[in-house]
């Protein structure tokens, strides 16, 4: 019985880290195909599970998943953005969909500094 309770408790503790409400900031620049960075920088911030990019609040479609190695989130403006960030390398990949049924999303690569 103790093993079952410990397993349940351990699962709950580990599962709580998958969805985080921590505040997080990062600055990103688009990485061109030749490897250079575009000079424009975008300031991203998560505050209380809300996403702001350059101070503008964007609607999150799902709660962001933040763990030790990655940040995953999905937001919408005129397009739908499916975003993953590797926290170790600072690489962000944005899949940009023109609509819900878009079979070929655009891909944008960014380099980010997380702080």
Q: Where are the domains of the chain?
A: 2-114
Give the pTM: 0.76
pLDDT bin (cut points 50, 70, 90) of residue 21 is low
Q: Is 85 exposed, middle or buried (0-12, 13-18, 19+ CB in 10 A)?
A: buried
What are the pLDDT digits (tens) for 90-111?
Answer: 999 999 999 888 999 999 999 9
Q: Whose CA is closest to 73, among 112, 19, 37, 35?
A: 19
What are the pLDDT digits (tens) for 65-91?
Answer: 999 999 999 999 999 999 999 999 999
Amino acid 10: pLDDT: 37
Amino acid 64: pLDDT: 92
Residue 13 phi/psi, 5° resolution?
-65, -45
In this model, does residue 54 exceed pLDDT 60?
yes
Neighbours of 63 (CB within 10 A): 14
């Amino acid at each position: 019985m103790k093993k079952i309770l410990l397993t349940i408790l351990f699962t709950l503790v580990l599962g709580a880290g998958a969805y985080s409400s921590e505040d997080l900031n990062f600055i990103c620049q688009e990485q061109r195909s030749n490897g250079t960075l575009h000079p424009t920088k975008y300031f991203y911030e998560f505050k209380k599970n809300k996403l702001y990019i350059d101070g503008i609040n964007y609607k999150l479609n799902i709660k962001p998943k933040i763990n030790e190695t990655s940040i995953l989130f999905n937001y919408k403006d005129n397009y739908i953005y499916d975003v993953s960030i590797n926290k170790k390398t600072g690489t962000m990949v944005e899949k940009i969909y023109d609509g819900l049924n878009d079979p070929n999303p655009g891909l944008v690569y960014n380099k980010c500094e997380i702080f």
